[in-house]
Structure 1
């Protein structure tokens, strides 16, 4: 239910912001607003607005398919609101490096739930590395997708030629793995065992 609630809230706010520039400007990550005006809510609210429908759709479909499994895990570890806490923390942690890098950059903006969604996806991959996922109609093991995604994101982050915040993606993925291991350290041995038992 938490996963569905996050999806519903994100979709509603994103659709409202598509046609409301003032709402978009109030929620988006604009670093000087945090630095100068202490509008710390932007470290979370940037994740409920998106650039366009396809941006929103991709993030929410990914969250729908993988969030439910990770919600079950965090409910067992932290209680009923465990997954919500994990998701909100992922939003904050994934964007902090971007904020510190651009805290005085008045021309910088960032938005979208991708960092938190990647935290969810990589927490899933940590537990189910050989699960089959479909990427652009191509089925592949989750662990292969993880490797390809990390290589691509590191390359594109260093290039810095598009308008995608690859840094948030990388930090979100790292947080998803690190925090999940903090909750259940024995997942390391489980992950290594599963890697030794490939399933295609």
Structure 2
């Protein structure tokens, strides 16, 4: 239920931002606005706007499938709003390395929920490493997809130049795993056991 609410809010805010460029300018992560004007809310609001419908659709479909799977786990560990706390904190934590790197760069901007969605995805992979994820209609074990995702994001972050914040993807993935382990350390042992006993 909370996953659907997060998706609905994100779609609504992104849709409004598509129609109103001034709204994008107010919500987007723009370092000088944080550094000079202390608009720290941008560390969260940038996660609710997107570059275009394709960007929005990809993130929300991913969140729909994996968010619904991990939401009950967070509800059990942290209570009914634990999942929302995880998601919102993931938006912030995923963007922090980027903000620190570009905090004096007035030309830099970043937007999108990818960092938080990456955190949700990797929390799911930690819980179910051998479940199948369909990539371009091809079934791929979640753990293999995760390894490829991290490697690709790291490589592309070093390359740069494609206007995608791969650093946020990496930070979100790490945060998703660490948050889950912090909340329930036994998940680590379960993950290793499942990893050593593949089942599809």
TM-score, with structure 1 as normaliser: 0.99
- 1:18 is aligned to 18
Could you list the runs of 5+ residues in structure 2 that have no partner in the other structure? none
Note the alpha carbon deviations across 1:11-32, whole angstroms, 9 max, x for none.
0010110111100000000011
Alignment of 1:54-133 (within 5 A): 54-133=54-133
Q: Distance in 2 between matches of 1:120 and 1:92?
A: 14
Q: Distance in 1 between matches of 2:96 and 2:5?
A: 25
Q: Distance in 2 between matches of 1:137 and 1:104?
A: 42
- 1:39 is aligned to 39
- 1:145 is aligned to 145
Give, in angstroms, the shift of residue 161 of structure 1: 2.1
Out of 135-144 and 57-66, give the one that drifted further. Answer: 135-144
Q: Distance in 1 between matches of 2:136 and 2:154?
A: 20
Could you list the runs of 5+ residues in structure 1 that have no partner in the other structure? none
Q: What RMSD, in angstroms, separates the aligned Cα atoms of the two structures?
A: 0.6
- Count of residue pairs brought into register by the alignment: 200
Residue 104 of structure 1 aligns to a residue whose secondary structure is coil
Runs of 4+ in 1 over 2 A off after TM superposition: none
- 1:173 is aligned to 173
TM-score, with structure 2 as normaliser: 0.99
Q: Distance in 1 between matches of 2:78 and 2:197?
A: 30
Out of 56-65 and 135-144, give the one that drifted further. Answer: 135-144
Give, in angstroms, the shift of residue 67 of structure 1: 0.3
Residue 109 of structure 1 aligns to a residue whose secondary structure is coil
Q: Distance in 1 between matches of 2:131 and 2:180?
A: 18
Note the alpha carbon deviations across 1:68-105, whole angstroms, 9 max, x for none.
11110110111110000000000000001111111111
Residue 37 of structure 1 aligns to a residue whose secondary structure is coil
